Amino acid sequence: MKAEQVLEEARGQRALARSVEERIYRISERFVDDHRKWSTQKLRADPENYQRRKTDLQKAFDFVEDIGYDLPSEIRKTSLDKLKESYKKKVYEQKLREEQKEIKRQAREEERIRKEHEQAQKEAAAKEQEIKQRLEEVLALQQDAHSAEVEELRKQLAEAEANSQRAISMAQQTKKGHVYILSNIGSFGENIYKVGMTRRLEPELRVKELGDASVPFPFDVHAMVSCDNAPELEKKLHHDLT
């Protein structure tokens, strides 16, 4: 056999071996990726679940090697990195859901308190008016402006006026606060804004809290407005920006 023929056959065998190896590589890569996708579907936002899914994926690596193929380290690294990113996304989404749930809970609580204070204000005003009317009727019927009944009514009126003022003050306090407009390009992209309110004396702490708890990047503050009716301003901004 001529040397040229030997070389040609060797080249052909090498090409065949490379072709087979490439097919095995693609099959192994597809098998591992499919298993990663399966593991990702079962991911939950807790560390123990993530470790179980990671173990499942590593078993897929071992299976490929057990059948006689040396799995490239790049496939291992890429698959584990993708699983980790999927887990981070799950955790992030869970924190967002918890934040939204807490915001809704706070809104319901604030609305309940607001209604209670408004009702207390109405009742106090009605009581004050009732005592005033009674005092006017008593004074119209008797000459003694310092009788025991008149003095008692005046005492009750003073208490009613104090209660009315206290109710008004409490109602006003539930409305005072700070309305903020934030953005977070790193987490949500451009032209996405978050509008909210807080009654904290240092509203910047609320912004920091939001950044620490729910997103991987800090929020940018575009506006922080102190006002006497924060719920109304927040509501108007939500309406204007949607």
Per-residue pLDDT of the chain (242 residues; tens, 9 = 90+): 555 665 566 565 665 556 656 776 777 778 888 888 888 888 888 889 999 999 998 888 888 888 777 777 888 898 899 999 988 888 888 877 777 777 677 767 777 777 777 888 888 888 888 888 888 888 777 766 678 887 887 888 888 888 888 777 766 666 778 888 888 887 777 888 888 888 776 778 777 777 665 567 788 888 888 888 888 888 888 777 76
- pLDDT at position 21 is 65
pLDDT digits (tens, 9 = 90+) for 197-210: 887 767 787 777 77
Q: Would you tell me how many other CB atoms lie within 10 Å of the CB of residue 32?
A: 20
Place of tokens 């040397």: 3
- pLDDT at position 161 is 85
Q: Measure the CA–CA gap between 1 and 3, rounded to whole angstroms.
A: 7
Q: Measure the CA–CA gap between 74 and 76, rounded to whole angstroms.
A: 5
- pLDDT at position 9 is 60
What number of residues does the chain have?
242
Pairing of strands 220-227, 193-198: unpaired
Residue 45: φ, ψ to 5°? -85, 55
Q: Measure the CA–CA gap between 76 and 192, rounded to whole angstroms.
A: 36
pTM tops 0.75, yes or no: no
Tokens of 28: 């192994």
- pLDDT at position 117 is 76
